[in-house]
Structure 1
Amino acid sequence: MTARPSRLFPDLPALKRGSAICLFLAGLMVSSQAMALSEIPEEDVPVPAEETAPNDEIQRQTLPPVQAEPTKPASPDPAPATDEVEAPRPPRDMTVPLPDPIVTPRAPHAVAPTDEEANGEPTAEISYDIELLPEPVARMRKLIIEAALTGEMENLRPILEVGDEGTQLSFGDLPEDPITFLRELSGDDDGQEILAILYEVMSAGYVHLEAGEPTEMYVWPYFFAVPLDSLDKRQRVELFKLVTAGDYEDMKNFGAYIFYRVGISPEGRWLFFVAGD
């Protein structure tokens, strides 16, 4: 049987033509398969629900209720404004107040301050001359000094006057017994301290006050009627026989001599022996 020449590959030998034909047929199969795949209709591939993006719809969730904060008590309404302006309050004083000075009543025979005293000038003439004293006054002064120098308080009793018009020994009630009262004032039991003070008082200079008046008298020591700021050095030495330097400063602040003093009337009556003002 004579082989027919191939129309596809006429120039190739039979064996080679067979191989070429096989290759040709294989190419046709591949091409047909490619065309078949391209002709497969496109279908939507389902996507799992969990992989879809939540863009199509906003998911709403219920939030827990918000806890309300505790309400504060409402402050009282401010006072309505008025035309009156409230006066500023004075600053509060934090300092501790000092006690009031102890002031005793003025002796009935004390002299009211004069213009000279207010100006710091002596209100009476100071004297040490016993010869210038009226005889009744000089005699009473001598009796007081003699009784004080004995050291016996009872020796004052004969010259102390008693009763409503008697010798004034305090600014309070009249003592039942003047000797007992004076002894209780003394720093010692027998009263010698008071007797020593009485002696020093009567040994100092004196002043004659209110001459010609019903209240005329002679007063020891003269410090009672002289501003303490006007005392010179010698006079301060005399004063320190009776009081301490601290007492002197206190009396300057007070404004007067307030230690013991003695008053004798022109008739020789022992008017007072007191301390204070």
Structure 2
Amino acid sequence: MAITAQTSEITKTMRGHPQARVAVTATELSGTAPKADGQRVKTTSSLLVVVALCSLVYGWCVPGAIAGEQPLPAHVAETREMILAAVRAASLEDLAAVIDASAVKPDFGLASGDNPIAGLKALSADGRGLEILAALRDVLDVAPATLPLGKDLENNLVYVWPYLAEKPLDTLSSADEIELYRLMPAAKVAEMREKKRWIWWRLAIGADGSLLLFKKMP
């Protein structure tokens, strides 16, 4: 069959979640196929492919399922516990073990080449990293969302804390808003509603246990 393809791409913003962008690619395939009498007839079929364009770096993500009621995979739970152990020890240096164990270099929002521990201490208001440790404890105390962003097709979930970071602000329930006010001051909540995007701490762990990201979203 002789096939010709015409492809068009449309990018649109998800309603209520402006930082999530979805690319829709429609491909029309047309050609000719033989009939029983030996003649050929033109055929046309359409293929619609929807691709979620998500970036952990910029926070463009389609809301995922909340994983709070499901046990975390062993590797994810282990990394979470290692982070919380550093919090309990009040030692930002203990995060080095988590960083070293990750298959990729975590994104802390620091300049390229910066020592991550030193960089996080510099970001912390107290200069010792205690504010950073408090933020880690707060976000990990809330349920995560799951997003199918990983490279492993059979185990491609990425766990993102808090789940509120992946939920459209205009869909929050009263229980969600309580969690929100527990994480940030009222003034920051008001700013976030005005900007219509998540502008607080966000943490992501891959299904293999790699710490992928921890930074305050701009």
Please tell me the TM-score bracket, short chain as reference. 0.5 to 0.7
Match of 1:255 in 2: 196
- The answer to whether structure 1 residue 140 and structure 2 residue 79 are counterparts is yes
Structure 2 length-normalised TM: 0.66
**How far apart in 2 are the matches of 1:212 and 1:276?**
21
**How far apart in 2 are the matches of 1:259 and 1:213?**
26
Q: 1:158 aligns with which of 94, 97, 101?
A: 97
Q: Is the 8 A contact 2:61 2:166 kept in 1?
A: no
**How far apart in 2 are the matches of 1:264 and 1:109?**
16
Q: 2:146 aligns with which of 208, 214, 220?
A: 208
**How far apart in 1 are the matches of 2:114 and 2:144?**
30
Give the partner amino acid of 2:179: E
Structure 1 length-normalised TM: 0.53
Match of 1:62 in 2: none
- The answer to whether structure 1 residue 243 and structure 2 residue 181 are counterparts is no
SS, match of residue 75 in structure 2: helix
Match of 2:65 in 1: 125
Q: How many residues align?
A: 161
Unpaired runs of 5+ residues, structure 2, are 1-54
Unpaired runs of 5+ residues, structure 1, are 1-105, 114-122
Match of 1:176 in 2: 114
- CA RMSD, 1 decimal: 2.5
Q: Is the 8 A contact 2:64 2:147 kept in 1?
A: yes
**How far apart in 1 are the matches of 2:201 and 2:150?**
25
Give the partner amino acid of 1:272: L
Query: CA shift at 1:219, angstroms?
Result: 0.3
Q: Is the 8 A contact 1:128 1:205 kept in 2?
A: yes
**How far apart in 2 are the matches of 1:227 and 1:124?**
11
Q: Which has the larger radius of gyration?
A: 1
Query: CA shift at 1:259, angstroms?
Result: 0.6
Which aligned pairs between 1:1-277 and structure 2 lie closer than 5 A?
A: 107-108=56-57, 110-113=59-62, 123-129=63-69, 131=71, 133-161=72-100, 165-170=104-109, 173-210=111-148, 216-277=157-218
Match of 1:73 in 2: none
Give the partner amino acid of 1:271: L
SS, match of residue 240 in structure 1: helix
Q: Which has the higher strand share?
A: 2
SS, match of residue 183 in structure 2: coil
